[in-house]
Amino acid sequence: MDTKVKQEIENETDTKQLGIHSLESLGPYILEQDNAKNFVYVSDIPQLCKDEPCMLGVDEAGRGPVLGPMVYGIAFCPLSKKDILKQLGFADSKQLTEEKRDEIFDAMNRKDYAVEALGWAVEAISPNVISMSMLRRTKHSLNEVSMDSAIGLINAAIEAGVNIAEVYVDTVGPPEKYQAKLKAIFPKFKITVAKKADSTYPIVSAASIAAKVTRDHALKVWKFRERPNEADNTFGSGYPGDPTTKQFLGDIDLVFGFPRLVRFSWSTAGKALEKKAYDMEFEEEEDIKGNQKATYGSEKLSKYFSASKNENRKRYEYFRDRCLEHVAEI
C-alpha cells in the first residue's frame, strides 16, 4: 500500500475510549464520533481470550450502498468455547431481521457467559474516506480499503492481547489470493478465506452482526453537518433501488453536490450529479502560474480558496456554513 495513502487514511481514523456494553449504548457512542472520519472500537477483552487459543472471524456490512459508512467487524472467542456462538444464535446476519440482530448484539454485550468469552471490534469507514480513496490520483480501490480494514482489525486484536490461533474471513475478491495475502502477513495463524463465510462459520456470523448492527445504528443517528435542519433518516436504506434513497439523491446542491453521507465515487451518485449539477472546472497549478491575469472585470475562482502569503483572513461564511475544507493535495 502506498505510504502516503496509508498515512492519510490513518489520519482519518479516530479511536475513542468510551465503552459499548449494550445495544442502548451503541447509538450514543456513534453519535460522539465525527462521521466524516473513520472510527475504531475494540470491546473489552475477556481474560479467557488472552489465556486460551482463539478463533477470530472477519466480515463487513454496507459494501454496496451508495449512502453511509462501510463497517468492518471482527469477533473472537476461545476454541474451547465455540458452543457459546450457537447459544447466542449466530447465523448469517443478512438472513436475520433487524430486531433479531439487535437482540443478539445486546446479548453478546450483556450476558455474563458471552462477555466472559467473546470479544469484538469494528471499524466504521466513512463514505467521505471511501470516496476520497477511490477518486484520488493514486487510486485505492474498495477491495484495498476493505483488506486494509480487516488487517488493521486483526492487528488491533493482537495488540490488545488476543491469543489468535485461527482466522476465518468472508472474502473480498478471489479467496485464494486474499488468503495468500493474509497468510504472508500472519504466518503463525491458520487462515481460511471463503465466499459466504458468515453462513458457514459462526464466528464470522458474530463479526457480521457486530458490523451490521453498528452500520444500522450509524445511519439512525447520522447528523448532517451540511444540513443541520435535516429530519432524521430521510434517505432510506442507502441502496440505489430504494425509492426513498432515489428521492434523496435527487436533492442536489447545484455547486457542491451531495452531503458527506453520500459516496460520491459511486456511479449512481455520479449520474445524478451529471443530470442536475453544474459542470465545474478547477485550475491546474501550471495554468494559474502561466495565466496570473484574469480577464478585465472578472475574478479567479482560486482567489476565494486561498489567502495571500501575508494575509491571515477568516474563511468566507459561505464555505464555513457548508463545512467545506481546503484540500492541499489530491
| Predicted pLDDT at 301 | 57
Question: What are the backbone dihedrals phi and psi of residue 234, each rounded to the nearest 5 degrees, phi first?
Answer: -100, 10
170 is in an annotated binding site: yes
Average of per-residue pLDDT across 65-87: 96
CATH fold of 23-221: Nucleotidyltransferase; domain 5 (3.30.420)
Q: What is the mean pLDDT of the chain?
A: 85
Which ranges of the chain does DSSP label H, i.e. alpha helix? 3-11, 23-31, 47-51, 83-88, 98-110, 112-115, 127-135, 142-159, 175-185, 202-220, 243-249, 267-276, 285-290, 317-321
- Residues with Cβ within 8 Å of 176's Cβ and at least 6 positions away in sequence, in order, are 193
Question: Of residues 273 and 218, which shows the higher confidence score?
Answer: 218
Between 171 and 298, residue with greater pLDDT: 171
What is the C-alpha separation between 138 and 5, in angstroms, rounded?
8
58 pairs with which residues across the strands?
Answer: 74, 169
Answer yes or no: is pLDDT of 130 > 50: yes
11 versus 161: which is more confidently predicted?
A: 161
112 in a labelled binding site? no
Whether the predicted pLDDT of 209 surpasses 70: yes
Alpha-carbon span 204 to 171, nearest angstrom:
11
Across 83-107, average pLDDT: 89
Residue 33 has pLDDT above 80, yes or no: yes
Lowest-confidence region among 182-196, 201-215, 221-235: 221-235
What average pLDDT score do residues 248-276 get? 86
Residue that has been written with the C-alpha cell 490513518 in this structure: 10
Q: Between residues 123 and 289, which one has the greater pLDDT?
A: 123
b/e per residue 12-27 (b: at least 16 CB within 10 A)? bbeeeeeebeebeebe
Distance CA 106, CA 220 (A): 17
Contacts of 226 (CB under 8 A, 6+ apart): 253, 259, 260, 322, 323
Q: Which cell goes with 264?
A: 460520491
Percent pLDDT > 70 in the chain is: 77
* Mean pLDDT on 98-102: 95
For residues 154 and 4, the model is more confident at 154
Q: Where are the domains of the chain?
A: 23-221
- The pLDDT assigned to 307 comes to 55
